[in-house]
Structure 1
Amino acid sequence: MTETAARSIDGLKDIPYPSATSGSEYVSGWRVSVTLLTLFLVSSISQVDRILPFIMAEAIKLDLSLSDTEVGLLTGVPFAVCYTLLSLPLARAADRGSPRFVLVACILAWSAMTAFGGMAASFLMLAFTRFGVAAGEAGAFPAGHAIIARKIRPERRGMAIGLFAMGMPMGAMMGFAAGGAVADTLGWRVALIGAGAIGGLIALFALVVIGPMAPLRQAASGESFLRSSARLLAAPAFRWLFVGAIAVGFASAPFYAFAGPFLIRVHGFTASEAGLAFGLLQGLMGIFGTLIGGRMFDRAVQSGTGRVLGPPAILFLIASVTTTAALFAPAGWVSVALLVPGMLSFAFMLPWAFGAGHLVAGRGNEAQATSLMMVGSGLLGPALGPLMVGMISDAATGAQIPNGLALGLLTVPVASVLTAIAMLIANQRIAASFARR
């Protein structure tokens, strides 16, 4: 499938698109590897900076005399709202201007705020720096995907998106391991300042490696990013992708928030045992899922049928069954093993969902498509999903129903089924548009 053909998918041909380039920006040889390494480092350090307060929460709470509510505010709903909503204008800037400039500016912004967080003397100052981290990170993924679309040839983009996404589980593993070790030996402030300094170095590396990128020429439409987002969401294929992203958020957020407490409460795991079992498997599944998912997506696109979402939909259906079984398994090790398909499904989905979104949106709108998918998965699910699980668990416990947390966590397989349905409908829509061409 050519990039020009992708512009007409599912009725989006009326959107004003930038002029296609001749492909002269595509990199080749060792530059491909260096570009992807750079984006992997960006994704990794963004995840490290985001999750450091989780592993260091007790030390921060003690040092600044914070309440649990204040700790929750540092990493909860306000962070999610700031991160997801700011991604839209930053994605627009990456699509219409220089994604390299947007990416480097965002890295410098969140790295500086991470370092300033290590100097915070109060809750308000630390909260301000976390909002700054969210604002900076909001543009990283959209700009990174825009760079991939401009620098990496179409037949390798699924793998490129997978490598970029692989930085998330790698960053989480490094953040929990290195962040905890540094915090225990040198203190949480040194950990934040050190992470900010590393981010600054990566920003300079990205500035040199990626190289100048001229803005794409576009038709003079004067259309705002909100209106263009509405037009994209009006396309049936992308609308179902967006619904699937929302469902993923309701599946993944409670899964990661309560899987550890579930193993501790129901199966008697210690915190270290739950963290080791769940954290290690989640990291490995994240690496495996993003890489294999990216490669399989490339093959699906090259088939020319337009059926580019079937495998992740099937995996989510399988995960819904195994996750349900895990919640009522008699032994802890059986429960952990049955949670693995769920871990894999979330990582495997990333290159498929983003790649399909890019196909539907067309050239010059990749960052905006990524941003909208991030809004779908990162706003409602993380804000409401864990709350729903907690309310169901509390109600079941109050009614003296055993294993109340497992009942609450049934929202995860339900959301997984809804994700699969949305992906299958989007898959049918995209395939139908291919058949009409």
Structure 2
Amino acid sequence: MTALGGVAASFMVLAFTRFGVAFGEAGGTPAGHAIIARKIRPERRGLAIGLFALGIPLGTMVGFAVGGAMSDTLGWRTVLIGAGALGGIIGLLAFVIVGPTPPRKTATTSGEPFLHASVRLLSSLGFRWLFIGAMISGFAAAPFYAFAAPFLMRTHGYSASEAGLAFGLLQGLMGIFGTLIGGRWFDRAARSGTGRVLGPPGILFLIASVTTTVALFVPVPWLSIILLVPAMLSFAFMLPWGFGAAHLVAGKGKEAMATSLVMIGSGLFGPAFGPLIVGMISDAATETGIPNGLALGMLAVPAASALTGVAILVANRRIAASFRNIDIG
């Protein structure tokens, strides 16, 4: 579907191929987390999820940096076709190397219908607030990744390759740091026995909301990029914490279900409507002659980050209150 985007002759066809990309990617993370849960001890699972999540920042770093440079020289169609071909090769390698994993036969894998299992899991206040936080975070992450590079280009005059290199490199570095440190930190928090397994990412989202707001209006290009760093870090840092906390609440044998619900929350509305809202605000501001209209639209990112931080901190408190009933083994 990525490669087909490179030969799209209309916006609707291009949009359809992007839907196809999302559909193809959706099953990978829950399946990966289920394999991790079967093979990695609970006390080290946060780090394992963090290592698994490294694919996001590494891919972002390479995609922005290399993709921006190639787009300037070869055109965006060539970039999409090349990325699709590379993805196909990696998919075949994964199929051959990993191979099929037989289902684990335990009492917890009861074949409970998805809807019933989802309702039962969402009946937990801690998981419900985590789901809400994941849903709001989509309104922060999707526009951030979609418009950060165009913002640097339109507002500060960077070229596509310069914006891609600066944003991609920092995003990759923060992603590596955030997922690895976040995974280790989560493991330590889970072993503490207090049940407070979401406090640090909640606080980081609140900090990111402030720095991102300033970044959108500061006139100094390099300072604007630096002020975007906490947002880059918050999205990566949250991954092992969010999924790890979801696994704790769900219990053994339900890790893939928990991952699926968290991903449904983060992808339910945010990626679909977040960039659309930012684009509509930006276009409306530009049409009325307001300078830096894209920055006004991107205010949705820090607003959603602040709400995400609040929801995550509420989830942290709720999970801690019921932690005595959670089996972390």
TM-score by length of 1: 0.68
Larger Rg: 1
Partners of 1:254 and 1:385 within 8 A in 2: yes
Alignment correspondent of 2:118: 229
1:221 and 1:212, CA in 2 relative to 1: closer, same or farther beyond 3 A? closer
Partners of 2:43 and 2:191 within 8 A in 1: yes
Alignment correspondent of 2:15: 72
Partners of 1:278 and 1:222 in 2: how far apart?
44
- Amino acid paired to 1:198: I
Partners of 1:293 and 1:234 in 2: how far apart?
27
Query: Within the alignment, does 1:279 sit opposite 2:168 as a pair?
Result: yes
Alignment correspondent of 2:190: 301
Alignment correspondent of 2:277: 388
Query: Within the alignment, does 1:374 sit opposite 2:317 as a pair?
Result: no
Query: Within the alignment, does 1:192 sit opposite 2:84 as a pair?
Result: yes
- Amino acid paired to 1:284: L
TM-score by length of 2: 0.90
Question: Deviations along 1:153-209, whole A, 9 cap, x unmatched?
Answer: 111000000000011121233445667769959x665653443133212211112xx
Question: Deviations along 1:310-342, whole A, 9 cap, x unmatched?
Answer: 100111011000000001101111100100000
Q: Alpha-carbon deviation of 1:241? A: 0.5
1:385-424 matches, within 5 Å, as 385-424=274-313
Q: Alpha-carbon deviation of 1:298? A: 0.4
Further displaced range: 391-400 or 167-176? 167-176
Query: Within the alignment, does 1:351 sit opposite 2:246 as a pair?
Result: no
Alignment correspondent of 2:33: 145
Partners of 1:221 and 1:337 in 2: how far apart?
49
1:189 and 1:433, CA in 2 relative to 1: closer, same or farther beyond 3 A? closer
SS in 2 for 1:387: helix
Aligned residues: CA RMSD: 2.6
Partners of 2:26 and 2:58 in 1: how far apart?
19
Partners of 1:261 and 1:190 in 2: how far apart?
22
**Paired residues, number:** 322
Partners of 1:327 and 1:335 within 8 A in 2: yes
Partners of 1:276 and 1:164 in 2: how far apart?
24
Partners of 2:30 and 2:256 within 8 A in 1: yes
- Amino acid paired to 2:90: I
Partners of 2:44 and 2:110 in 1: how far apart?
31
Q: Alpha-carbon deviation of 1:212? A: 5.2
1:374 and 1:391, CA in 2 relative to 1: closer, same or farther beyond 3 A? same
Q: Alpha-carbon deviation of 1:136? A: 4.2
Partners of 1:149 and 1:224 in 2: how far apart?
21
Alignment correspondent of 2:217: 328
Query: Within the alignment, does 1:310 sit opposite 2:199 as a pair?
Result: yes
Query: Within the alignment, does 1:433 sit opposite 2:302 as a pair?
Result: no
Alignment correspondent of 1:201: 93
Query: Within the alignment, does 1:360 sit opposite 2:249 as a pair?
Result: yes
In structure 2, stretches of 5+ residues that fail to align are none
Partners of 1:191 and 1:254 in 2: how far apart?
22
Partners of 1:216 and 1:364 within 8 A in 2: no
Q: Alpha-carbon deviation of 1:424? A: 0.6
- Amino acid paired to 1:431: A
Partners of 2:43 and 2:275 in 1: how far apart?
38
Partners of 1:220 and 1:164 in 2: how far apart?
23
1:219 and 1:149, CA in 2 relative to 1: closer, same or farther beyond 3 A? closer
Question: Deviations along 1:182-239, whole A, 9 cap, x unmatched?
Answer: 9959x665653443133212211112xxx85442333696631111111111211111
- Amino acid paired to 1:421: V
Partners of 1:354 and 1:373 within 8 A in 2: yes
Of 228, 231, 240, the residue aligned with 1:339 is 228
1:417 and 1:176, CA in 2 relative to 1: closer, same or farther beyond 3 A? closer
Q: Alpha-carbon deviation of 1:303? A: 0.8
Partners of 2:142 and 2:271 within 8 A in 1: yes
Runs ≥4 residues deviating over 6 A? 219-222
1:140 and 1:184, CA in 2 relative to 1: closer, same or farther beyond 3 A? same
In structure 1, stretches of 5+ residues that fail to align are 1-49, 80-130
SS in 1 for 2:54: helix
Alignment correspondent of 1:12: none
Q: Alpha-carbon deviation of 1:150? A: 1.1
1:248-263 matches, within 5 Å, as 248-263=137-152
Partners of 2:115 and 2:325 in 1: how far apart?
29
1:33-112 matches, within 5 Å, as 60-61=6-7, 66-75=9-18, 79=19
Partners of 2:109 and 2:253 within 8 A in 1: no
Partners of 1:158 and 1:297 within 8 A in 2: yes
Identity %: 64
Partners of 1:325 and 1:365 in 2: how far apart?
41
